[in-house]
Structure 1
Amino acid sequence: MQIIKNCKVLLNRRIEEGVSIGIDNGIIKKIGKDLKGELLIDAKNLLVLPGGIDAHVHFRDPGFTYKEDWISGSKSALAGGITSVIDQPNTYPMVTSPDILLNKIEIAKKKSLVDFGVNAAVTNKNIHLIKDLAGYTTAFGEIFLGEDDEEDVISYDMLNTALKIIKDTHLLPTIHAEDYSCIASNKIAYQIKSSQSHLFARPNSCEEIATAKLVKMAEQVGCRMHICHISTKEAIKIIKTARGITCEVTPHHLLFSADDYNLLKTKIKVNPPIRDKADRNFLWNMVKYGMIDVIASDHAPHSIEEKEGDIYNAKSGIPGVETMIPLLLNLVAKDEISIGRLVELTSYNPAKIWGLRRKGFLKEGYDADLVLYNLKDKKRIVAGDLHTRCGWTPYEGFQAIFPQTTIIRGDIAFKNGEFYVKEGYGNLIKRV
């Protein structure tokens, strides 16, 4: 048995010091004081947390690897304390069939440094394949809403049919909640010469309308549902009155507001858009007091050239898998969020909601996915220090606390800026 000694760990919602963690065959075998075995690391009272799970990443592989691929994306994850990711299906080709899904899984198996899941798409054109996809996919989605005749999206009527089939698979549908008719009716806002025109073109009402329809549909079908990257107070209020509906927020919706468009402009163009301070503050309160289930990065890298130009044509998306937990840990150090709440949002809850076997918990019998942090070791984020292929970040200059060591299944994968595992180390995560 290998031992990590002198740890600070979160046990029963309290920080315990001088704890040892025993690891055998990649599994946490024993947690206690003065354990005997081969020394893996002397943590010297570093904080040891369960590995982060980023349940919403777009690693762009295959099809758009000039922006990111499984190697660069998973290196970013490791360097940010993320040991497991769930990749979204809007790569090229879009993951709409079992053959495409299996090919994407094989690519990830050859390249990824972190453990992973791969999601399948649900569109107007592939509902008949849902049961076949269920044998291999981690979950369904990110599902995008659209008109009946569009290929890469799904209409409300077709989604209702799809949810009935998904319910029988016991897998989770994860949905981007913005109403396409509402967006179309507000498109004229792009004619306004303002850095905030993207916000005006996708107002709060678009998310509210979609969320209300989705929640009602889930209740009628009797299935659970996860709403991605919620950004408005109206949507959260709807979700929290429903049963079986979970939701996530992103760091960018928590850390930016509409005031930041003047400086960052198209760099913070995302869907749904960055909202005003009232929405941001509401999101923070919901995060702190337990009304949000998950924080996920929605890591969506684009080349800097794709992010430049006018607000209408610039691509939507922000890189964030490497900076998510370091940014949040800085807020833990400032007492703006508790360490227990952070671990719930980025480890416990994603593992439970997605049914990830042996992941997300620092407990005996779970995978030894562990991350060691020194909460006094703050540094400013510099794009050139990050590992994403896109080469930029909207968080330039923000303070963060990056991991000293990241361990996956008992192996040191990243330590003091160096990678100790090679591409292909990551495993496909089994579902419970």
Structure 2
Amino acid sequence: MAKYTLIKNAKLVNEGEILAHDVLIKDQMIEKVGYDLSHETATVLDAEGKFLIPGIIDDQVHFREPGLTHKAEIYTEAKAAVAGGITSFMEMPNTVPNTLTQELLQDKYDIAAERSLANYSFFMGASNDNLEEVLKTNRQDVCGIKVFMGSSTGNMLVDNEETLERLFSRAELIVAAHCEDEGTIRANMELYKEKYGDDIPFTAHPLIRSEEACYLSSSKAVALARKNKTKFHVLHISTAKETDLFDNDIPLKDKLITSEACIHHMWFNDEDYLTKGGNIKWNPAVKTAYDRDMVFQAMLEDKIDIIATDHAPHTIEEKNNGYLNCPSGGPLVQHALPAMMEHYLNGKISIERMVEKMCHNPAILFEVEKRGYIREGYYADLVLVDSHDVWLVDKGNVLSKCGWSPFEGYKFRSKITHTFVSGHLAYENGKFNEEQKGMRLKFDRK
């Protein structure tokens, strides 16, 4: 027997409009969107005063499984994501072992099928010597290929120019890249070691992983993609200078070269290292207030196409190390939407544009099948947000396994109250229903 849920009285944010529409869900799908809907057997959810948005699609997370599960697991991080309004994630291949074979890629899908509350996809990893394996990747059910053109773990740094040329010329699905120039970073690191020895301050991080390191790598990668007409996506833009590499006069569906901005690069700046230290140490580094503001502006101007998290947890103990032994990355999936809602409440972005960048555009860019919008016949990935509910971030309410957040001590003014994943009410007012797991994302690629 079909299960119906009717969401009434919400402020529906979708496709550039805010409408007083109801939404009727039948099993996994959106059955009807319209005014004053009713259904005799539906469970009715009164969403008076709340925003109803499509589920967020986060194209860059590191959930650490397999091999690094002392930091995070697909199970714990997917729950944190759902609590943050993220209904679908795309996870990166620098786990242990690195995801460099089709068998290892399938292993991650098998884990997610059993344990992920959110919908999921996993990038296939590229190395200097696995091109033929990469080219076996299925375009219909894998989000893309990930290449690290900068520092990474294990065998994931691709610095062989012939390999890169072959990858960019032969790849049949989107190639996403972390772009930082390894040679520049190493040279900068040696200078700071000479100056400070082992006691390098965290304030040096954006000078070691500098604007030059980012631009040198990203400009080279963009040129290579243009030459080969590769569908290419530059992850986590962190500098004002890089934003000039991207066009804003082409519809997203027609762009070959795209980019993303991450929450932390649009929130923090280099002055925050003085108080937060390693807790805001990411790669690429958080840079100046000017860079932060220009990345945000480039996102508004459509030079940067989507907003993501680069969620990458480490333990508190690891983060408490000195600079040289402090790993880069931090948890963000639970707090990304509340952070963006702060920008909305402060008048920096409309909620319609926020939804475009976090929900619609990832679906367009990756050609995700039947998600990212509130449309009849689409999967019911839906999030209710109360924009008048103040709450304090502290260790006691952090859901990521690592148990901390760079936003600790901050009072957000918006709270996610309900998250539907493929029609299933997975999260409601702080409580999870794990009876139904998320689905493997499919991609509508010709």
Tell me which interval the TM-score lies in, with the shorter structure as reference length: over 0.9
In the alignment, structure 1 residue 246 sits paired with structure 2 residue 242: no
- The match for 1:74 is 78
In the alignment, structure 1 residue 267 sits paired with structure 2 residue 279: yes
In the alignment, structure 1 residue 408 sits paired with structure 2 residue 421: yes
With over 3 angstroms needed to count, the CA separation of the structure-2 counterparts of 1:151 and 1:373, relative to structure 1, is closer
After TM superposition, the score normalised by the length of structure 1 is: 0.94
Shift of 1:47: 0.9
- The match for 2:13 is 10
Give 3-state SS (helix, strand or coil) of 1:362's partner: coil
After TM superposition, the score normalised by the length of structure 2 is: 0.91
In the alignment, structure 1 residue 126 sits paired with structure 2 residue 130: yes
Any idea what the Cα deviations from partners look like across 1:62-109, whole Å, max 9, x if unmatched? 111111001110110011011001111111111101111111110111
Mapped to 2, the partners of 1:76 and 1:274 lie a distance apart of: 23
- The match for 1:21 is 23
In the alignment, structure 1 residue 350 sits paired with structure 2 residue 362: yes
1:4-403 to structure 2, matched below 5 A, reads 4-17=7-20, 19-37=21-39, 38-134=42-138, 137-141=142-146, 143-145=147-149, 151-155=155-159, 156-166=161-171, 169=172, 171-191=173-193, 192=196, 193-240=200-247, 244-400=256-412, 401-403=414-416
The one-letter amino acid of 2:235's match is C
Shift of 1:146: 5.4
Deviating more after overlay: 241-250 vs 125-134: 241-250
With over 3 angstroms needed to count, the CA separation of the structure-2 counterparts of 1:90 and 1:56, relative to structure 1, is same
Give 3-state SS (helix, strand or coil) of 1:357's partner: coil
Give 3-state SS (helix, strand or coil) of 1:55's partner: strand
Shift of 1:411: 1.5
Deviating more after overlay: 348-357 vs 399-408: 399-408
The one-letter amino acid of 2:190's match is I
Q: Percent identity?
A: 31
With over 3 angstroms needed to count, the CA separation of the structure-2 counterparts of 1:416 and 1:262, relative to structure 1, is same
Mapped to 1, the partners of 2:73 and 2:61 lie a distance apart of: 11
With over 3 angstroms needed to count, the CA separation of the structure-2 counterparts of 1:410 and 1:40, relative to structure 1, is farther
Shift of 1:261: 0.7
RMSD between aligned residues: 1.7
Contact 2:268 2:286 in 1 (8 A): yes
Give 3-state SS (helix, strand or coil) of 1:28's partner: strand
Contact 1:239 1:245 in 2 (8 A): yes
The one-letter amino acid of 1:257's match is N
Give 3-state SS (helix, strand or coil) of 1:403's partner: strand
Give 3-state SS (helix, strand or coil) of 2:124's partner: coil
Contact 1:79 1:402 in 2 (8 A): no
Contact 2:11 2:50 in 1 (8 A): yes
Mapped to 1, the partners of 2:14 and 2:62 lie a distance apart of: 33
Mapped to 2, the partners of 1:312 and 1:239 lie a distance apart of: 33
Mapped to 1, the partners of 2:305 and 2:404 lie a distance apart of: 28
Give 3-state SS (helix, strand or coil) of 2:10's partner: strand
Mapped to 2, the partners of 1:151 and 1:81 lie a distance apart of: 33
Give 3-state SS (helix, strand or coil) of 2:416's partner: coil
With over 3 angstroms needed to count, the CA separation of the structure-2 counterparts of 1:396 and 1:146, relative to structure 1, is closer
The one-letter amino acid of 2:421's match is I
Mapped to 2, the partners of 1:146 and 1:330 lie a distance apart of: 32
Q: Where do 5+ consecutive residues of structure 2 fail to align?
A: none
Shift of 1:329: 1.0
The one-letter amino acid of 2:367's match is G
Give 3-state SS (helix, strand or coil) of 1:22's partner: strand
The one-letter amino acid of 1:21's match is V
With over 3 angstroms needed to count, the CA separation of the structure-2 counterparts of 1:342 and 1:116, relative to structure 1, is same
The one-letter amino acid of 2:275's match is L
Shift of 1:12: 4.9
Shift of 1:187: 1.4
Give 3-state SS (helix, strand or coil) of 2:88's partner: strand
Contact 1:261 1:268 in 2 (8 A): yes
